Chain A
Amino acid sequence: MAVTAKNISRNEFFLGHKACAGCGASLAVRIALKTLGERAVATLPAGCMSAVGFNFPQLAFANNAIISTFAGTASMMTGIAAGLRRRGEKDVAVVGFAGDGGTADIGIQALSGAIDRNDDILYICYDNEAYMNTGIQKSSLTPFGAATTTTPAGRNIRGNPGKKKNMFAIVAAHGIPYAATASVGYILDYARKVEKAARIRGTKYIHVLAPCPTGWGYDVADTVEIAREAVDCGLWPLQEFEAGEFRLNRKPGNIAGVKDYLKRQGRFRHLTDADMERIAKPEGDR
């Protein structure tokens, strides 16, 4: 049965943590664990969610959870899955929650290895588009033009000169059994992808856009709205890759909304019209 707002578990597995108000990533972790239930084992590398969730003696996970090394999310999950299999544990969801830097930069080697082995794990990348936990430094998933503390917007450089790495395509290129993009703005779509992934054997990857008011520069009440706009304007299409086929889940409705999306975030405040047009062009850098 597909998960809905009415039937989703009332149990909370991630609570009492220290995430910022309006944190998109904590929403992604919370909803995934509610969907997966008490047989989930969560692995989190260094990053926002481990920093806010594992401060002894204030431990915020009600299910089994462990911090991995920064680069070692997927490799630790491989070991956990193997160990639990050897203990005869069945119906277990070995799930990982790593940020954009933990996934696309330092953790990509281990992730690629796990997909290559087709280990039975669900890897969720919560993408807030920079190293937020350490103070908003650029990652390879920071979009073009975004100001971060290591790509400041000044007279000579206008934010990040590079573009956002396409992790979804990279993961799909491995021939993974299941991959999807999602957004905390479309939370049921996300929860259903988590639910579907949990039923598939082998490696699964979900890349969920998780806006960060602290790093992006918008009001803490607007996280879900911003996360929806990113999808609606076409910058973050909701897609799936399953059994070798790509599928677009939702047709972007408002391509013209790109400028509005950019303008309401402090990190893009310095962009010129030309910059914004470059971002809006489907073939352009993102």
Chain B
Amino acid sequence: MSRQFISGNDAFALGILLAKPAVISAYPITPQTTVVERLSEYVESGELDAEFIHVESEHSALSCAIGASAAGVRTFTATSSQGLLYMAECLPYAAGGRYPIVMMNANRAIALPWNIYGDQSDSLSQLACGWIQAYAEDAQEALDFALMSYYIAEHPQVAVPFMVNLDGFHITHTYEIVDVPTREQADAFLPPYETENRIDFARPKNMAFSAGPGHNKIFRRNHHKAMLRSSEVIVECESRFAEFFGRRYSGLVDAYKTDDAEFVLVTLGSVAGLARDAADELRGQGAKAGVLRLRYMRPFPEEAIRKALAGAKAVAVLEKDISPGKGGAVFAEVSGVCESVRLNAIGGLGGEDISKESLRSVFAMLAEGKEGELWL
């Protein structure tokens, strides 16, 4: 283990270096670009024995990754924003084919209007594409997700692709102190990728085929079940991770002082730290405030949310996206499992700062019994 002062992108790239993908395909897009720059440097220096493929678009980046995964090797790609949307056709393709590709997505606003800064509109628009979706809070968790994502995605009980989301700039470009595992530790933690779902000359296969009515349902249901099963594999993976690296994660959600909380803010990504600070300040003034950070959006942490919010009087969801004509995507999902959800705070769009004061006001509005939508 070494301690390094690095950006979230660099931390993630180190995690991928340790995971040793055999094929990396990528196309540059801000703010993801430095991840693949680091990886190409590792390939150049010989630290990473991988094929780095310069593709001509994000669509090709994921299409290429699907081909490599179908050949049976560990594969990585990364993207952001418009790039994620440009490759969108390939997202359910990779998932339906059950190819355990890992992709980093630097969460960023989508056009129009053009905006290169961070929000979560890109990945939250793709919740139904069949990928596991995790949201890191900081650079350390980003690195750890890079390692754990392969373990979970490649697990025989799961076999679905894994999207790790890092808040654009807030995580990708912010420097933090990160514990970096050694090569030996990483190798011991993460077994090599083995699968039968691959091109095989001894037993030739027809892959990525059509399935008509009747059969279609079976493949889709199997995929859904695998996603649900992945919740257990995530827990198993985190116990294993704690044994190897000493850092223990908390499953699909990260609950902060929710046990006795009357007012809870549900959110995801890097803003959670600020939310915890706000909750602590309010607790200092006698208000029972808590924060529930969703570490995963898929599989959706239904049970964990229900449990964490069971005693709450009023709940707000804070998210950096908007589904015009409805509201926040996360709000809609959390409302479906908890009756106490009252407020939908929309903030951080197009990279706008979210202040602690604004979070305190969200808690205050919950205490006042306010309902509806709130634009920070």
Contact = CB atoms under 8 A, between A and B. Distances in A.
A147 B56 CA distance: 34
A54 B206 contact: yes
A59 B112 CA distance: 43
B209 A82 contact: no
A82 B51 contact: yes
Interface stretch (B34-42, B63-71, B277-285): B63-71
B128 interface: no
Interface residues of A, number: 45
Interface in B202-222: 204-212, 215
Contacts of A38: 201, 204
Contact of A71 (B59, B67, B68): B59
Most buried by B among A38, A62, A68, A86: A86
Contact of A54 (B69, B200, B210): B210
B316 to A, nearest CB: 40
B338 interface: no
A79 B208 contact: no
Contact of A112 (B56, B61, B205, B209): B56
A78 B70 CA distance: 12
B22 A62 contact: no
Nearest to A73: B63
B215 A82 contact: no
Nearest to B70: A66
A157 to B, nearest CB: 32
A80 B67 contact: yes
Nearest to B24: A82
Interface of B: 22-23, 25, 51, 53-57, 59-61, 63-73, 75, 89-90, 93, 199-201, 204-212, 215
Given A55-B210, A113-B56, A62 B68 contact: no
B209 A80 contact: no
A74 B25 CA distance: 13
Interface in A50-106: 50-51, 53-57, 59-69, 71-72, 74-87, 89
A55 B212 contact: yes
28 contacts: A50-B210, A51-B210, A55-B209, A56-B215, A61-B204, A64-B207, A66-B206, A66-B207, A71-B59, A71-B63, A75-B55, A75-B59, A75-B64, A78-B53, A78-B64, A79-B23, A82-B23, A82-B68, A83-B23, A83-B199, A86-B22, A86-B51, A86-B68, A89-B201, A109-B56, A110-B56, A113-B55, A116-B56
Contact of A79 (B71, B93, B206, B210): B71
A83 B72 contact: yes
Contact of A78 (B55, B57, B59, B211): B55
A69 B93 contact: yes
Given A78-B67, A83-B22, A87-B71, A56 B209 contact: yes
A43 interface: yes
Given A82-B53, A109-B60, A77 B210 contact: no
A230 interface: no
Contacts of A136: none
